[in-house]
Amino acid sequence: MNTQNELFSTAKGFSVQCDLTSKIILHFGDLKASFKIRDFLNFRRVVNSIDIHSKIFDLSDESDYEFVEAPQLNLHHKLTLCELVQLRELVNGTHFAIELNSMLHELLFIESESV
């Protein structure tokens, strides 16, 4: 029995939702993280809050990398700016898939009640 449903994938990673644990699991390079939905939304907020544009134009060595953290998961990962853009794509695509699935389930539930 397959308990993991793929939500989104890119060339650099993919995400699945586990039916048994109701967790979102991100696979990105050597990073594998399992999130409760609330933790995933917080992680997404952290990833999206990083100002990539200013880092591109900052010539200091420190701006070439960013530390992405999810303290509740004990996750601390150093990413290049390119990896950060790719992670952002994966996280936002996963969020879109979750929202789309939620809307579809809601519409189908409302539709089945009215029949």
Give the CATH number of the domain where residue 85 resides.
2.30.31
Number of domains within the chain: 1
* pTM score: 0.88
Is the pLDDT at 111 greater than 70, yes or no? no
Task: Supply the pLDDT for residue 108.
Answer: 85
Range of the domain at 104: 4-114
Query: Cα–Cα distance between 72 and 34 in angstroms, integer?
Result: 11
Query: Cα–Cα distance between 37 and 105 in angstroms, integer?
Result: 17
Task: Supply the pLDDT for residue 114.
Answer: 64
Query: Cα–Cα distance between 11 and 41 in angstroms, integer?
Result: 22
Query: Cα–Cα distance between 28 and 80 in angstroms, integer?
Result: 13
pLDDT digits (tens, 9 = 90+) for 38-95: 999 999 999 999 999 999 899 898 889 999 988 777 888 899 999 999 999 999 999 9
Is the pLDDT at 115 greater than 70, yes or no? no
Q: Which residues pair with 25 in a beta bridge?
A: 16, 34
Is the pLDDT at 97 greater than 60, yes or no? yes
